[in-house]
Amino acid sequence: MKTIAVLGTLDSKGEEHAYVAELIRNRGHRPLLIDVGTGSEPTVRPDVSRYEVAAADGLDLEEIMSRQDRGECVTAMSQAAPKLISMLHKAGQIDGVISLGGGGGTAIATAAMRALPIGFPKLMVSTLAAGNTAHYLGTSDITMMPSIADVAGLNRLSETIFARAAGAICGMVEVEIPPTSSRPIIVASMFGNTTACVTEAKRVLEENGYEVLIFAATGAGGKSMEAVIESGVAVGVLDITTTEWADELCGGTLNAGPTRMDAAARAGIPVVIVPGCLDMVNFGERASVPAKYEGRNFYIHNPQVTLMRTTPEECAELGRIIAEKANACAEGLCEILIPEKAISVISAEGQPFHDPAADAALFEAIEKHANVTVRIYDGEINNPLFARACAERLLTLLA
């Protein structure tokens, strides 16, 4: 029998959570009803009261609720619920977690879910699941399911959705995870424009006994890669696709924040850095590009993605940033490799983003500011020889 935490605001959503709890029980598992409500008394009896949740973070819930400030109450529970859920997980008392909610409930429950490790079953049925969920997910693997209608009582539609959700979380806790590899882990960053390079480098690294986890350099992917490095499971980093810094600098849609490329230095593990795809900034459809960029060199990747070529001035700044990130690594644990002929498929000669002046500004800035070894290769980023060079340099640093 598995125990599944059913986390929710049981003052306003008690009926719905009790319904899911009963479905879980009917599947042969034990539901653990946890109340994170802060309004009226819960409409169903919880297994863990709101006061016990608050106590996990040392909060005086009575005092907080007496001020009748909903925002303060949601914030308090968003701080306390992760502590409680984490304690239950570490004690081996829960095997999965599910919640149903609107804005407040989703904020509280997903905060709790983000405290759980990747791979732990977590399902959020939310009125907000069809919109931008990035701030609810963070770098976690929360499964978000649209509630379709509001989470406001039981009816033929909500009962169907909630029943499917209950089945989903039960299926997650029931599945047997296949045995995992014991090989040391290397993480790598990849984009469509660097796929050939990363694929070949991965092959070389795997032939040498490593497991390679690849992360898409899409903002969320870069954040996830940094989180995995921070977790301590990786022994090395192949950061071939540093393009998220172009989006961070120019306001693109795939930025990973200012701490991108910091984790490897803090972890003290070897890293090979390549200025992959720093020729491009990602925006949405063409009409979404900020007006200040009119007149620039654009490439329509698809109807939903517009790429903008970085200028020599932007490339010089990107080169400085990349170099300074590399400089933060311990001595002898980082190298920068530069494919001089192209840093993406579309920056090669004859391609729409071919701009020798911009590339030169990037490379010169890296060489000027870097205190680590910088190696220049006479080739394009997706040349198999360059890919193998990246893998071999990382293997040397790992030795």
pLDDT at 181: 76
- Per-residue pLDDT reduced to its tens digit, 307-330: 999 999 999 999 999 999 999 999
Q: Is the pLDDT confidence value at 182 over 90? A: no
Q: pTM of this prediction?
A: 0.82
pLDDT at 178: 86
pLDDT (average), residues 96-118 = 96
Q: Which two tokens stand for residue 248?
A: 């961070």
Q: From the CB of residue 132, how many other CB atoms can be counted at a distance below 10 Å?
A: 8
Q: Which two tokens stand for residue 148?
A: 């379709």
pLDDT band at residue 134 using 50, 70 and 90 as cut-offs? confident
Ordered structural domains, the chain, with CATH: 3-174 (3.40.50.12020), 185-398 (3.40.50.12030)
pLDDT band at residue 11 using 50, 70 and 90 as cut-offs? very high
pLDDT at 247: 98
Distance CA 365, CA 259 (A): 20
H or E, element range at 393: helix 384-398
- Per-residue pLDDT reduced to its tens digit, 201-224: 999 999 999 999 999 999 999 999
Distance CA 309, CA 277 (A): 10
